Amino acid sequence: MILLARWLLVALLAAWLGPVGAAAAPPPVPTSPQEAGPPASPPAPTATALRLFTAVETAWAASDAEGLASLVDTTGVRIAVKPSAPPTAALNRVSAAFLFQDPMRLVRTREFRIVRLDVSDKGSARATARWVGDWGGRQGIKQVRVTLTAGLRAGTWLLTEVRASD
């Protein structure tokens, strides 16, 4: 009889403490992207000319051709990453990535730094960067000047020209 009373007391306490303990437990952490919901959107990387050129600097230093291609104005961008080569028009993001891909893959970038930035009131900006990289073979390590031109299109800054020169 005492054993039955103890068992009944333990069962009642467990039933009573169960919901209380569950209410105090922290909410479960989502394990899949669908459960987590949409991420908080960071500010657009091209909301200002400074943010655009900072994103270019980061992508170039990482040799990220896709990242660079995402920063160009595909309605009218000209790209010449090989020094002294004529610029080529990229009509879409894939062609822009293609134009960036070989130089990013073949040149081991040691440093890419924006050294000058001019922003006009008319929605255009121009930056000059220093690109130091190991070009391999007889060329070895060399420094190249890269001129970046950007324009403001529908509230977003995008690259309109990328030109490298010795």
pLDDT tens track for 73-132 = 988 899 999 888 899 999 899 999 999 998 899 999 999 999 999 999 888 999 999 999
Residue 136's pLDDT band (cuts 50, 70, 90)? confident
- Predicted pLDDT at 112: 94
Token reading at 15: 């039933």
Instruction: Out of 3.40.228.10, 3.10.450.50, 3.40.50.720, 1.20.120.350, select the CATH number for domain 49-165.
Output: 3.10.450.50
Q: Which two tokens stand for residue 34?
A: 């669908």
Q: Which DSSP helix (H) or strand (E) runs through 165?
A: strand 156-165
Q: How far apart are CA 53 and CA 51, in angstroms?
A: 6
Task: Identify which has the larger pLDDT, 148 or 139.
Answer: 148
- DSSP structural state of residue 42: P
The rounded distance, in Å, linking the Cα atoms of 103 and 135 is 9
pLDDT grade for 2, boundaries at 50, 70 and 90:
low
**Entry pTM:** 0.70
Residue type at position 77: V
Tokens of 82: 């090989």
- Domain ranges in the chain are 49-165
What pLDDT, on a 0 to 100 scale, did the predictor assign at position 40?
44
* Tens digit of each residue's pLDDT (9 = 90 or more) over 4-58: 445 444 554 455 445 444 444 555 555 555 555 554 444 456 789 999 999 999 9
- 154 pLDDT exceeds 90? no
For residues 125 and 133, what is the distance between their CA atoms, to the nearest angstrom?
25
Q: Is 84 left (phi over 0), alpha (psi -120 to 50) or beta?
A: left
Rg of the chain over Cα atoms, rounded to whole angstroms, equals 28
